[in-house]
Amino acid sequence: MLQSIEARTGAAIGEHWAESTPADISAAVRASSAAADAFATSSAAQRAELLRALAAVLEADREALVALADRESGLDLPRLNGELDLTTFQLRGFADVIERGDAHAFIDDAAVASAPPAGRPHLMRVRVPVGPVAMFSASNFPFAFSVLGGDTASALAAGCPVVVKGHPAHPGLSRCTAALAQKVVAAQDLQPGVFQFVEGDSVDVGVALVQAPAIAAVAFTGSFKGGTALAKIASERPRPIPFYGELGSVNPLVVLPAAIAKNGAELARTLAASICLGAGQFCTSPGVIVVPKDAAGDGFVDAFSKALQATQPHAMLSAGIRATFDRGVAQWRAAPQLKPLVNDVVDATVQAPRPFLAEVSAADFIANHALHEEVFGPAALVVRVASSDEAIDVLKAVGGSLTVTLWGAEAESDATHRLVRAATQIAGRVLFAGVPTGVAVTAAQHHGGPFPASTQPFTTSVGYAALDRFLRPVALQDAPSWLIERKGVPC
């Protein structure tokens, strides 16, 4: 059963309702499959019109949607209004991109009349939509990574129908947003299967959606446990399909001596705010802070601890997310290698958590794999290092991450060369200023990274290159003139 919950109090909102049944899921996928061919051959102008209409309907219903999102998430009106703006920006951005021709981009190699290998037939490389996409909404961004978020926008822009699974942390908002999207699809005179919606709190709903034979790809943002389980199901189908999963990240942030010397106190405050932003419920929240083991480093850690101690995160998105956070912090508290720095114990019945911070040596961190796992929420570990080589060893121990931040790498040296190389080896985005919380939607963005940050590190879930996940290359050899004249538009 599904139930809308007031995030700040835990009180139920309205009546509960049943989750989607296997028959409901099958019907949604069948409708999506029935719409796939026509939608794949739609023009860029048609899809752009759809995306802009979806953006407009979100803005038209802003007041009601944001109020409901605030009740279910506790994220506050300013944050949610900004997130709705980001969502409409994404939708309109993808509309602009496909109107420029990106969805129908092609490569045309003229025939060469000669003997092989120089000689060749006429080859035209085009891209075709993969088909119906199963999209799993995320908990922590009720608009931008949810029903009409980036995954939905990029799949629709590519010409792929979507079957969206709403997140149970904001079920009322998901239902309302899906209903608006379905009205827009109908008003655009498109088949209903272009946008379908299913919902549920049980594992069975997600499994049934991924296993549906007509689903051609999956986009997922969520937990490591849930994501790896669904990825396994996607790979074990009779016809395996791509699973684009963002699973979690500890986002190491390396504080070099130059940064501490220049503005260490300010950076300490900035870092504390980033870790507690949104109660730490950002996939890019810094979770491992690498600091030199010297007097200047001691001063930075002291300032950082005091700044974090002074913050008070708001209530977390759901009771389940809060319980997972509390378990993660309890495991860190029990680790003998850790020295607690910010360690207020709060009763689990209190809605808002307290931040947690502990210090550990580089050697102990590297040796204990459990310390490399994400604790989703306002918590982090300070790892003390004696050299840049030890900092590199810490980055290598982390493995895959969405981001790595290097503060103080402005001066070129052999050490910074090696640090940058180590950062690029494990992360999809490397920052040299600012904090990783906040992901710009632009062509140059890459929001992904080596496992366990994502299952497909060559792809991004944010930015306009996200379109590429749902377009499959096809080479047309000696195609007839009528097909060449379509200039990459599928037939």
pLDDT at 349 over 70: no
Active site residues: 246, 283
Q: Which long-range contacts (CB under 8 A, 24 or more apart) does 77-83 make?
A: 79/278, 80/142, 80/143, 83/141, 83/142, 83/143, 83/144
Q: pTM for this one?
A: 0.94
pLDDT of residue 209: 98
For the domain 253-431, what is the CATH superfamily, name and number?
Aldehyde Dehydrogenase; Chain A, domain 2 (3.40.309.10)
What CATH topology corresponds to 2-247+454-484?
Answer: Aldehyde Dehydrogenase; Chain A, domain 1 (3.40.605)
Q: Enumerate residues 6+ apart whose C-beta is below 8 A from 293.
A: 361, 362, 384, 385, 386
Contacts of 67 (CB under 8 A, 6+ apart): 77
Q: Where are the domains of the chain?
A: 2-247+454-484, 253-431
The CA dihedral of 308, 314, 319, 320, to the nearest 10 degrees, is -50
In this predicted model, what pLDDT tens digit does every residue of 126-169 receive, in sequence order? 999 999 999 999 999 999 999 999 999 999 999 999 999 999 99
On the question of pLDDT at 200 being above 70, the answer is yes
- Averaged over 45-54, what is the pLDDT? 98
pLDDT given for residue 348 in this prediction: 66
Q: What is the mean pLDDT of residues 425-430?
A: 97
Eight-class DSSP state of 137: P
Q: Is the pLDDT of residue 346 over 80?
A: no
193 phi, psi to nearest 5 deg = -65, -10
Cβ neighbours of residue 33 closer than 8 Å, sequence gap 6 or more: 131, 132, 161, 193, 214
| DSSP for residue 454 | B
